[in-house]
Amino acid sequence: MTERLFNGKTVLLTAGPTHEPIDPVRFIGNHSTGKMGYALAESFAERGAKVVLVSGPTNLHTHHANIKVKHVTTAEEMYKAVLKYADAADIWVFAAAVADYRPKTVADKKIKKAGDELTIELVKNVDIAAALGKQKEEWQFSVGFALETDNESANAREKLRKKNLDMIVLNSLNDPGAGFAHDTNKITIIEENATHTFDLKSKREVAQDIVNLIWERIYG
């Protein structure tokens, strides 16, 4: 399925982790590599979409003419970038692994070892998908991601409703070869009235499955 089915459409897509600084040399982060998000960006672009890829820190690169990359570091920077492009996008895909919390205070200098314990006070980051869900228009289509370790389907369905998503892509860390740092993934796509389970595949193939289903739901 290589037809340019998304010609004239704009996709806003987030990918990768965020890094929340503790001091000039340390940060709070996660193991996301951005591979799934970048594979999705390429898949949409190959089908004719104009893609705005808001990427957290990653070693990945894309040179597709249809993809505009906006590099960010923190959750706050990602949120501001998403707000800038959201209104003009037909499809939103929130594939980034955004840190839920950030340090309340960032030290100006490297924190030195002193004592056996260090306490860092954390404050909550904006839930980007949930915040955007409150302003989504009827003509816009929103897709979220959920990486779970227990009560996977129930937790994903709750996120689907609370964040006003049209579908959510569920990963389970209990599935070998799925989740962060792998070149493969095993997903379940959940909609309000449907569930679609896929076998373990390369992330490029997984991206194609996701993009195909999005097209079917919107334009099929």
Give CA–CA dist 24/29, Å, rounded.
Answer: 14
Q: How many CB atoms lie within 10 A of CB 204?
A: 17
Q: From 55, 48, 43, select the one nearest 208 (Cα to Cα).
A: 43
C-alpha distances (whole Å) from 94 to each of 60, 74, 105, 112 are 17, 15, 27, 37
Residue 144 neighbours by CB distance under 10 Å: 26
User: Considering only CA atoms, which of 137, 38, 176, 22 is closest in space to residue 96?
Assistant: 38
Written as six digits, the tokens of 1 are: 């399925």
**141 within 8 A of 94, measured Cβ to Cβ:** no
Distance CA 147, CA 135 (A): 24
Length of the chain, in residues: 220
Residues with a known catalytic role: 30
